[in-house]
Amino acid sequence: MIALIVLGTVMDIVHKKNVKYFFDNAKKAKKNATKSLSAGERIKVLSKTVVSDIATTSELGAGKRRLAHVMGMYGTILFWVATVAMVFMYTSPNSTTPNIWPILWHGGAILTVLGGCWFWFFLRVDVYSEAQPWYRIIKADLFVLALIATSLFGLIWSYLQNLDLGNRWDDKVFLVFYIVANLILFGGVYWSKFAHMFYKPGAAIQKNLAEADGSRDNLPPEADGPEQFGLGIKREEPKHY
Ligand code: HEM
């Protein structure tokens, strides 16, 4: 899985040339810096980025979009960490897996399904702002749907094992679904939005450093005047993109 993530992300970087653009842009912006940051100031900016932009997805503002993302993000992290721990840490037949790992695995899967479904059914831009029906599926949905599918099939498989069905076919079918969903999730990195979890933190660090050193990513300075947009702006929440 790790190899598939690395391969998919490297192919994506080569194809989009996004990392090259990112570094060229950062170099260009540096020339416009009005202040050179000390090591201490850099560490402060980095810590704020980790705590706010990365750990709580502050880019999404306060509200349901951010909450849904945080649920899906931490759910997935818990699910992956618990999976790795249960697969690799208790390999001998006499070892017992502490209860905490399956609890975290199930908790993570439930959070991922809830956060992911909330986003996909109600918050994704096609449905929320563009009035597309919820059942319209496009390539951009590959990541979120594969993520929900892995957790959901994992949960159903776990439930069926718990029923102790002996050698019946049901839980094997869901084990196969679980494996296929994982293959799609990790094998589809090149085509999906998977790699945003690496790009977004990098972009947030660059944005916050550019704000702190005054280069502002080559953007003009903020207007020095009152925000007067007229009454029209209050008529409706801006959500038509
Ligand atoms: C395990 C880590 C992560 C997971 C599982 C995850 C999951 C997701 C999912 C499922 C989506 C919806 C994609 C779509 O179909 O448009 C999404 C969107 C997004 N993610 Fe993440 N993400 C992770 C890490 C991050 C990080 C670290 C950041 C920022 C630093 C971030 C920022 C965003 C933003 C800004 C969006 C767009 C949200 C929207 O359109 O409402 N994500 N993420």
pLDDT in tens, 28-62: 888 889 899 999 999 999 999 999 999 999 999 99
Q: Helix 142-162 crosses helix 100-117 at what angle (to 10 degrees)? A: 140
Pocket test for ligand 1, best of 73, 182, 191 (most atoms within 8 A of CB): 73
| Mean pLDDT in residue range 199-203 | 95
Distance 69 CA to ligand 1 centre (A): 6
Query: In the chain, pLDDT over 90 holds for what percent of residues?
Result: 73
Q: Which residues contact 15 (CB under 8 A, 6 or more apart)?
A: 190
| Mean pLDDT in residue range 83-110 | 96
Report if residue 237 sits inside a domain.
no
pLDDT, one tens digit per residue, over 114-157 is 999 999 999 999 998 888 999 999 999 999 999 999 999 999 99
Range of the domain at 118: 63-193
Report if residue 229 sits inside a domain.
no
Report if residue 27 sits inside a domain.
no
Report if residue 8 sits inside a domain.
no
- Predicted confidence (pLDDT) at residue 237 exceeds the cutoff of 80: no
Pocket test for ligand 1, best of 48, 69, 151 (most atoms within 8 A of CB): 69
Report if residue 133 sits inside a domain.
yes
Report if residue 46 sits inside a domain.
no
pLDDT at 241: 66
| Closest ligand 1 atom to Cα of 116 | 10
Query: In the chain, pLDDT over 70 holds for what percent of residues?
Result: 100
Task: Report yes or no on whether pTM surpasses 0.85.
Answer: yes
Report if residue 128 sits inside a domain.
yes
Structure tokens at 54: 């990365």
Report if residue 68 sits inside a domain.
yes
Residue 39's CB is within 10 A of a number of other CB atoms, namely 7
Q: Which residues contact 186 (CB under 8 A, 6 or more apart)?
A: 1, 4, 5, 8
Number of structural domains in the chain: 1
| Mean pLDDT in residue range 195-224 | 90
pLDDT at 164: 82
Q: Give the pocket of ligand 1 (CB within 6 Å).
A: 53-54, 57, 59-60, 65, 69, 72-73, 76-77, 116, 119, 123-124, 140-141, 143-144, 147, 193, 196-197, 200-201, 204
CA distances (Å), origin 168, targets 155, 176, 177: 17, 14, 16
| Closest ligand 1 atom to Cα of 204 | 30
